[in-house]
Amino acid sequence: MLAGKHILLIIGGGIAAYKSLELIRLLRTAGAQVTPVLTKAGSEFVTPLSISALAGSKVYSDLFDLGDEAEMGHIQLSRVADLVVVAPVTADLMAKMASGLASDLASTLLLATDTPVLMAPAMNVRMWEHAATQRNLATLQGDGIAVVGPNAGDMACGEYGPGRMAEPAEIMAAIDAQLGQGPLTGKRVLITSGPTHEPIDPVRYIANRSSGAQGTAIATALAALGAEVVFVTGPADVPPPSGVHVIRVETAHQMLDAVQAALPCDAAVFAAAVADWRVASASDSKLKKTKDGLPALTFAENPDILHTVAQMTKGRPALVVGFAAETDDVLANATAKRARKGCDWIVANDVSPETGIMGGAENAVTLISDSGSESWPRMGKDAVAAQLAQRIADALGRAP
């Protein structure tokens, strides 16, 4: 509940602005007071009338509105709230924020505020991935601004990828977390993600097709519920999530070291596709074609990170979650894996090429715990992540 909390909601210009109307409704239902600020571009997408009707408040939009200044000056407006939420924040508004511009009411409030700020980016995927936007994102995060989303998916512009604004319910969860009211506030959760690369020589390596998409989505969802997230990632295709502590590794050995250094934590989720084997003695120089025939690679077994942590007698996380990516007998293999690894839950999925799950946007998982197995319908990886994060929050809420 957000009773007694005051949110200054800045609505930027983008098609996602329509979702901000639903966000206002959710905020009001949760008991929050909402003061809306609409940028000029935002007013091209949603009308002040609908915002004001839902917020039950005047909509502020003009820096030089004398009526507004007499009623409430812009500096005062920037200080009224417990939290400033910018949803959607556009690439343009992020650039203004990152460079400290105060060229309209929204950017002026953001420069003048002494209140925590949460932003929900929404833009075309190329604009999001552009070096300038990523630079601005890093600057803003460095300035302590919290970020929720963007999610990957189909975009209004017809393209596909990260750039969709987080759903209103996800923004609500992030608001709760920012106000110290998330179900995982005060909990530290570790997650491994992506593939590992095991060197053969300085230029070649053994890898796998894991994109890191599911692990990244889980880290995002855990952070949105207020968790302090340590994200240990191999070389993934997707960029790491924002608002989490990112540790980049390449090999299984490095991943184990990073995991051990990140303990203790309340829960650990092992979503990485760790190579089972490495080349026993990787060459220090590039292997050459020779007349003597093909090089023979000898393999050595990698440490099993999940098993190592699940078996810890001292300092074991209260909840250890493993993944089972299978192509045959998914349920039987995953159930056996849960016992063999000693973890509490296994999230099993079928990664046969025809499912399109590996590297795709959707997943169909079965959650296996000591109370049996539960198959979830096929859904977006973001939705799987949100559901899993909520289950982790429920489980940790019950933990002594």
Footprint of ligand C5P on this chain (CB under 6 A)? 192, 252, 270, 272, 274, 276, 302, 304-306, 322-324, 337
Q: How far is the CB of 276 from ligand C5P (least distance, A)?
A: 6
Q: How far is the CB of 156 from ligand C5P (least distance, A)?
A: 35
Would you tell me how many other CB atoms lie within 10 Å of the CB of residue 285? Answer: 8
Q: Is 160 left (phi over 0), alpha (psi -120 to 50) or beta?
A: beta
Q: How far is the CB of 221 from ligand C5P (least distance, A)?
A: 17
DSSP 189: E
Q: How far is the CB of 392 from ligand C5P (least distance, A)?
A: 14
Give whichever of 59 and 310 is closer to ligand C5P, judged by the CB atom. 310
Q: Which residues, 6 or more positions from 254, have their beta carbon under 8 angstroms from its beta carbon?
A: none
Cβ atoms of 366 and 357 within 8 Å: the answer is no
Give whichever of 150 and 195 is closer to ligand C5P, judged by the CB atom. 195
CA distances from 171 to 67, 120, 146, 178 (A): 32, 7, 11, 10
Instruction: Report how far residue 144's alpha carbon sits from residue 148's, in angstroms, rounded to the nearest whole number.
Output: 13
> What are 173's two structure tokens?
């969860």
Cβ atoms of 396 and 345 within 8 Å: the answer is no
Looking at 155-204, which runs of residues are DSSP E strands?
160-164, 188-193, 198-199
Q: How far is the CB of 399 from ligand C5P (least distance, A)?
A: 20
Cβ atoms of 164 and 149 within 8 Å: the answer is yes
* Residues tagged active-site: 157
Give whichever of 105 and 347 is closer to ligand C5P, judged by the CB atom. 347
Q: At what angle do helices 17-29 and 168-178 cross, to 10 degrees?
A: 50
Give whichever of 93 and 305 is closer to ligand C5P, judged by the CB atom. 305
Give whichever of 44 and 374 is closer to ligand C5P, judged by the CB atom. 374
CA distances from 341 to 97, 175, 310 (A): 47, 36, 7
